[in-house]
């Protein structure tokens, strides 16, 4: 099953490369080069996360802690750079991030199949929402918050990710409809996380949280959807366990 999942990742990445070849031939060389850097650094990140999960989820938990700590630093650094403006907004954002980070930490200790399923859905959603958005995007979702996001990109990425959840149902041992339901929840929270991080950046007048990751920006620019998607899976599992015990 793990080999099948990795082959699926490679197939999807290959499709992404073909789409980027078509997309980038119309762009100026510097813009196209940045796009390729982003794509291949994303492939490296995907491999690091994938193998940290399948070798031993303890390694993924270490990565989760690193992501949470660096994300906290990025949130606070923007607040400092703004000379401590928007204090109430920062306080609310910090509380929300703490809750989501706690959920993500719990998620990092869950069953390997659950972690891998969630990771796969988020990776597919992130990748194909960008690809379909660049290929077919016409209608802007939130122009003032995230100018690059389009309705077409959201729909395309969500459909491909939710349908792909059926291919990965063996990881969580559920029926196809249940897998699609879980996949839809992951997609919804991943999108919410990405949108919330964009709102935070706009309030502090920056494009990226930092420039740690080539082509992506900061840790929260890359892992915001993983944090929120993982948190939802953890909270959903907790609620389900309580409901089952009643």
Measured from the Cβ of residue 59, the count of other Cβ atoms closer than 10 Å reads 16
What mean pLDDT comes out for the span 158-171?
A: 90
First vs last C-alpha separation in the chain: 34
| Tokens (6 digits) for 202 | 């706009």
pLDDT at 35: 81
Residue 30's pLDDT band (boundaries 50, 70, 90)? confident
What mean pLDDT comes out for the span 31-54?
A: 89
pLDDT at 45: 94
| Tokens (6 digits) for 199 | 């709102």
DSSP per-residue codes, the chain: -HHHHHHHHHHHHHHHHHHHHHHHTTS-HHHHHHHHHHHHHHHHHHHHHHHHHHH-HHHHHHHHHHHHHHHHHHHHHHHHHTTS--HHHHHHHHHHHHHHHHHHHHHTTS-HHHHHHHHHHHHHHHHHHHHHHHHH--SEEETTTEEEEEHHHHHHHHHHHHHHHHHTGGGTT--HHHHHHHHHHHHHHHHHHHHHHHHHHHHTT-S-S-S-BTTTBSHHHHHHHHHHHHHHHHHHHHHHHHHHH-
What mean pLDDT comes out for the span 45-69?
A: 95
| Tokens (6 digits) for 104 | 């993500």
The residue that leads in pLDDT, 17 or 86, is 86
- Quote the CA–CA distance of 158 and 183 in Å, as a whole number: 9
Q: What is the mean pLDDT of the chain?
A: 90
Q: Report the percentage of the chain scoring pLDDT > 90.
A: 61
Q: Report the percentage of the chain scoring pLDDT > 70.
A: 97
C-alpha 4: how far from its chain's center? 22
User: Against a cut of 0.85, is the pTM above it?
Assistant: yes
- Quote the CA–CA distance of 93 and 196 in Å, as a whole number: 9
Residue 241's pLDDT band (boundaries 50, 70, 90)? low
- Quote the CA–CA distance of 107 and 235 in Å, as a whole number: 9
pLDDT in tens, 81-129: 999 999 999 999 999 999 999 999 999 999 999 999 999 999 999 989 9
What mean pLDDT comes out for the span 193-222?
A: 92
Which among 167, 164, 162, 194 has a CA at the least distance from the CA of 181? 162
The residue that leads in pLDDT, 167 or 76, is 76
pLDDT at 226: 96
What mean pLDDT comes out for the span 42-46?
A: 92
pLDDT at 246: 47
Residue 243's pLDDT band (boundaries 50, 70, 90)? low
Lowest-pLDDT choice from 26-30, 76-80, 123-127: 26-30
Residue 80 has pLDDT above 60, yes or no: yes
Residue 64's pLDDT band (boundaries 50, 70, 90)? very high
Question: Cα separations (Å) of 25 from 12, 20, 37, 189?
Answer: 20, 8, 15, 33
């Amino acid at each position: 099953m793990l080999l099948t999942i990795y082959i699926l990742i490679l197939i999807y990445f290959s499709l992404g490369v073909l789409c980027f070849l078509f997309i980038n031939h119309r762009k100026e060389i510097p813009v196209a080069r940045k796009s390729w850097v982003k794509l291949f650094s994303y492939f490296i990140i995907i491999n690091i996360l994938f193998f940290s999960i399948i070798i031993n989820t303890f390694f993924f938990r270490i990565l989760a802690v690193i992501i949470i700590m660096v994300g906290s630093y990025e949130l606070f650094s923007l607040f400092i750079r703004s000379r401590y403006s928007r204090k109430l907004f920062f306080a609310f954002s910090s509380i929300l991030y703490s809750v989501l980070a706690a959920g993500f930490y719990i998620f990092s200790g869950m069953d390997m199949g659950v972690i891998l399923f969630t990771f796969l859905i988020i990776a597919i959603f992130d990748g194909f929402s960008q690809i379909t958005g660049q290929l077919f995007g016409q209608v802007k979702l939130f122009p003032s918050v995230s100018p690059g996001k389009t309705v077409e990109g959201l729909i395309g990425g969500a459909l491909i990710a939710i349908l792909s959840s059926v291919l990965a149902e063996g990881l969580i041992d559920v029926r196809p409809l249940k897998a699609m339901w879980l996949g839809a929840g992951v997609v919804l929270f991943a999108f919410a996380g990405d949108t919330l991080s964009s709102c935070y950046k706009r309030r502090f007048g920056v494009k990226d949280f930092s420039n740690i990751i080539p082509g992506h920006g900061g840790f929260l620019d890359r892992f915001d959807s993983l944090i929120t998607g993982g948190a939802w899976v953890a909270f959903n599992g907790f609620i389900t366990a309580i409901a089952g015990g009643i």
